[in-house]
């Protein structure tokens, strides 16, 4: 799954960006959004990337987390706590 690939390729910024992009696209559709948000650890992994030094990754992470907050009340609280 994507989260396993992300863990394996965490030192490759280009690969991390591509995986995050794919994850972001899954969030646009209700069926895949529910699976990703509630059956994987992807949001937790994205939260860990908040402190990444690469500005492209950081931008993607912030976009993903903003989108997640709009669609999931539980994650909204967690994201707010981790960001501030």
Give the confidence band of 75 by pLDDT, cuts at 50, 70, 90: very high
Residue 1 has pLDDT above 80, yes or no: no
User: Tens digit of pLDDT for each residue in 11-59?
Assistant: 889 999 999 999 999 999 999 999 999 999 999 999 999 999 999 999 9
What pLDDT is recorded for position 66?
96
Residue 27 DSSP label: T
Number of domains in the chain: 1
Nearest to 82 by CA among 62, 63, 67: 62
pTM of the model: 0.89
Domain that holds residue 56: 2-83
């Amino acid at each position: 799954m994507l989260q396993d690939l992300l863990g394996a390729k965490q030192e490759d910024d280009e690969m991390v960006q591509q995986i995050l992009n794919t994850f972001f696209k899954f969030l646009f559709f209700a069926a895949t959004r529910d699976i990703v948000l509630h059956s994987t650890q992807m949001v937790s992994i994205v939260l860990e990337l908040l402190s990444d030094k690469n500005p492209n990754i950081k931008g993607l992470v912030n976009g993903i987390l903003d989108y997640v907050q709009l669609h999931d009340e539980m994650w909204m609280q967690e994201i707010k706590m981790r960001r501030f």
